[in-house]
Structure 1
Amino acid sequence: MTPPPPPRPDLAPDADLEREEMETMQREIAAAATFEDDFSFDPDSLSNPLEASTSGAEPPVVAGVDQSFLVDAEPERALSAVVAMRAGEVVERVHAVTPLEIPYVPGLLAFREGGPILAALAELSVEPDLLLFDGSGRIHFRQAGIATHVGVVRDVPSIGVAKSLLCGRPLEDTENLPVGTRVPIEANGRVDAPAGTLLGYAVQTRQYDSPDRSINPLYVSPGHRVGPETAADAALSLAAAYKLPEPVRLADAYADEAKREVDS
């Protein structure tokens, strides 16, 4: 069955564009994005799915997205993995293998990996209510990281969960934070937004008990149709046992598993 066209096919990543054209498209993506809550599910159901179920509301489908790479292939290919979960249980796993058309350029990740991700999402039989990406959302030079780009193209609420800070300025120290701490990340001169714009949060989902070791926070930002506070809440709620939110962690593991199958 052919999937329906995405709501904004005109903004789908195009690796044939020149860099200036890519950056122009990203500004269009940011202008089209909604960086506030605009979804139908109860956000409390992310941390308390049983309560949502007994109240009669169906828990949302939350899909984690991650990638692995077949670097020995010619041409180099991306394996995009998606793990869809509902009420803490995996309901579907899909992946797609597609060529990588351009090298990695900081700030232009969606033009390298967005097409492969869209191909994997097209394989899903369930419709995700929320997408979580191993990558940035609004914490991006032009406020259009991969979570924003794909979220706008598909018109699905989305969140970016990055392991390092691409740009922006933390308002407080982010070293050795207690679990549950969130530090605002605001726009600075490296971001195409007014200074002081709230881009997202550094969120401490896990921490060692020992004072001699520490775990770095995640940099969580809205992608599309999610506000920064809800994005941070979701990252904390879904990272119950590990640093990464469970849908993203499982997508990462599935990407490696599927890669081994493709290589064998």
Structure 2
Amino acid sequence: MGGGRGVGTILSVLIYSKNWRLRTKSDIWLPSIKSPSVTSFIRKTMIKIRAAAKHTPTFTPFVRLQSGVVWMGLRDHRLGCGAGHGRGLHERSERRVEADTVAVTVMIDLFPTTSDQNMLLEVQRAVAAHAETEDRFDEIRTISGVDQAFAGEKVISGIVTLDYETMEEKDRAYAIVATEFPYIPTFLAFREGKAIVSAYGKLAHKPELLMIGRCGINHPRSAGLATHIGVALDIPTIGVSKSILCGRSEQPAGTGSVHLLMYGGRQIGWVLKSKENCNPIIVAPGHRVSMESSIEIVKHCLRGYKLPEPTRQAHIYANLVKRT
């Protein structure tokens, strides 16, 4: 976070007057969140704000995820706007509000550089809480693969966009970012996430779905890199990895065969034999993709190699950038 204050949370209290005109804004710095979850913390905060503003009958909480920031606030249900419609308190409305409106926004840095494990776990809990494992995407016309390479203290993120039917390349972009975070197993999003977000922003045409060469919900805290990126950007993602991070599964026999990956009594992904004489790959939903669709999409993208074409091409591209 900015201002040299280290890692923490900014609680922004915004008071809107009629027609959503911002009247006042104040920021309160919180060094850390001590509550068991971010959601619990902000719910308690909003109850206090609503009581103080005396708007409890007409205001309800909303949650929105955008560009690496979790936005939580209050919405006036008389206007019918909020996270469910992709709209929130930051948009103007044609209808008048007869009284002042109070909005509370908590901004959580989803890619902090701290090594404080409590803070990292708090962020991962927020990511897991907001991840969706149901299909919420348009017809897939293009799909992008994402993979990383490393050069010294820098991470190189390569993204290659392909036509979903033909697997022909349509776009590519990369970003090189200094690694501000050390390598810690199960916390890769904090090391690699910023580079992916930067590369994604450079794409001329955004795909309907990202396939990321890392874990999705097949993670001890259901917050692998693919899930983290999906939640941060609020885009559909699938994770494809080469080894099991957590969970158990039978080994698939022949090419194309698949087995469930189970952890804690629930399915967290698939183990897929994608090519003969190769170890299987692990497939899991990241965000806004169902368990069933994740394996169907990956199978569709196989073209005779161990890795599906999007992540295979991204791997080649990231290493090409590294060499040049």
Instruction: Give the TM-score normalised by the residue count of structure 1.
Output: 0.80
Of 15, 20, 28, 2:126 maps to 28
- Name the CA distance, whole Å, in 2 between partners of 1:115 and 1:17: 16
- Name the CA distance, whole Å, in 1 between partners of 2:215 and 2:206: 22
Counterpart for residue 157 of structure 2: 80
Is 2:110–2:123's contact at 8 Å kept on the other side of the alignment? Answer: no
- Name the CA distance, whole Å, in 2 between partners of 1:11 and 1:130: 23
Is 1:11–1:29's contact at 8 Å kept on the other side of the alignment? Answer: no
Residue 196 of structure 2 is aligned to residue 196 of structure 1: no
Unaligned runs of 5+ in 2: 1-65, 71-107
Residue 145 of structure 2 is aligned to residue 64 of structure 1: yes
Is 1:137–1:144's contact at 8 Å kept on the other side of the alignment? Answer: yes
**Secondary structure of the corresponding residue to residue 37 of structure 1:** coil
Q: Whose radius of gyration is greater, 1 or 2? A: 2
Counterpart for residue 110 of structure 1: 189
- Name the CA distance, whole Å, in 1 between partners of 2:294 and 2:109: 23
Of 190, 205, 222, 2:274 maps to 205
Percent same amino acid among aligned pairs?
Answer: 37
Deviations 1:181-232 (A, max 9, x none): 1110111xxxxxxx3111010011111xxxxxx3111110000011112111
Counterpart for residue 216 of structure 1: 279
1:178 is matched by which residue type in structure 2? G
- Name the CA distance, whole Å, in 1 between partners of 2:136 and 2:285: 11
Deviations 1:101-154 (A, max 9, x none): 122111000000011111111111111211001100010010010000000111
* TM superposition outliers: structure 1 runs of 4+ over 2 Å: 7-12
- Name the CA distance, whole Å, in 2 between partners of 1:69 and 1:109: 13
Residue 259 of structure 2 is aligned to residue 178 of structure 1: no
Q: 1:110–1:7: structure 2 CA closer, same or farther, 3 Å change rule?
A: closer
The structural deviation recorded for 1:100 is 0.3
Residue 210 of structure 2 is aligned to residue 134 of structure 1: no
Is 1:128–1:156's contact at 8 Å kept on the other side of the alignment? Answer: no
2:157 is matched by which residue type in structure 1? S
Is 1:110–1:145's contact at 8 Å kept on the other side of the alignment? Answer: yes
Is 2:217–2:223's contact at 8 Å kept on the other side of the alignment? Answer: yes
Is 1:8–1:152's contact at 8 Å kept on the other side of the alignment? Answer: no
- Name the CA distance, whole Å, in 2 between partners of 1:62 and 1:182: 22
**Secondary structure of the corresponding residue to residue 169 of structure 1:** coil
- Name the CA distance, whole Å, in 2 between partners of 1:215 and 1:97: 31
Counterpart for residue 172 of structure 2: 93
Is 1:11–1:153's contact at 8 Å kept on the other side of the alignment? Answer: no
2:131 is matched by which residue type in structure 1? A
The structural deviation recorded for 1:16 is 2.4
Counterpart for residue 50 of structure 1: none
Counterpart for residue 235 of structure 1: 298
Relative contact order (alpha carbons < 8 A, sep ≥ 6): 1 or 2 greater?
Answer: 1
**Secondary structure of the corresponding residue to residue 199 of structure 2:** helix
2:174 is matched by which residue type in structure 1? H
Is 2:160–2:310's contact at 8 Å kept on the other side of the alignment? Answer: yes
Name the one with the larger strand percent: 2
The structural deviation recorded for 1:7 is 6.6
